[in-house]
Amino acid sequence: MASLRDIRKRIKSVKSIKQITYAMKMVSAARIKRAQGAILSSRPFAVKMGGLIADLYTEMESSQFRDSPAYNLFAENPGADAVGLVLIAGDKGLCGSFNSSLLKAAAAWLTENRGKKMRVICVGRKSRDFIKRLKGLDLEITYEMVGLFPKAGYVHADILAANVLKMFSGGEVVSVTLIYNEFKSMLTQRVIREELLPLRHHILEAPDSAGRKLRDFSFEPEKHVLLEALLPRYIGANLYRVLLESQAAELAARMNAMEAASKNASDLIGGLTLKLNKMRQAMITTELNEIVSGAEALGG
Distance CA 98, CA 85 (A): 19
Burial of 55 (0-12, 13-18, 19+ CB in 10 A): middle
167-190 burial, b at 16+ Cβ within 10 Å, e below that, comes to bbeeebbbbbbbbbbbbeeeeebe
Residue 147 belongs to some domain of the structure: yes
122 catalytic? Reply is no
Which CATH number goes with the domain that contains 145?
Answer: 3.40.1380.10
Q: Which residues pair with residue 144 across a beta bridge?
A: 122
Q: How far apart are CA 218 and CA 100, in angstroms?
A: 51
Asked if pLDDT for residue 208 goes beyond 60, the answer is no
Q: 101-120 pLDDT, tens per residue?
A: 999 999 999 999 998 999 99
**Taking the mean position of all CA atoms in its chain, how far away is CA 95?**
10
If one counts the domains in the chain, the total is 1
d(Cα 68, Cα 253) in Å, to the nearest integer? 44
Number of residues that make up the chain: 300
Burial class (CB in 10 A: 0-12, 13-18, 19+), 85: buried
Which residue in 243, 77, 94, 96 sits closest to 166, CA to CA?
A: 77
* Structural domain includes residue 2: no
pLDDT tens, position by position, 240-296: 999 999 999 999 999 999 999 999 999 999 999 999 999 889 888 888 888 888 877
Judge contact between 181 and 103, C-beta under 8 A: no
Q: Is residue 196 within 8 Å of 202, Cβ to Cβ?
A: yes
| 87 contacts: CB under 8 Å, gap ≥ 6 | 102, 106, 120, 121, 122, 123, 124, 127, 130, 131, 179, 180
Does residue 169 carry a pLDDT above 70? yes
Which of the residues 46, 56, 88, 95 is marked catalytic? 95
For 49-95, how does the pLDDT look when each residue is reduced to its tens digit (9 = 90+)?
887 787 777 766 555 566 666 777 887 777 788 999 999 999 998 89
Query: What pTM does this model have?
Result: 0.84
Domain that holds residue 198: 22-257
126 Ramachandran zone, left/alpha/beta (phi>0; psi -120 to 50): alpha
> In angstroms, rounded to a whole number, what is the distance separating the alpha carbons of residues 299 and 280?
28
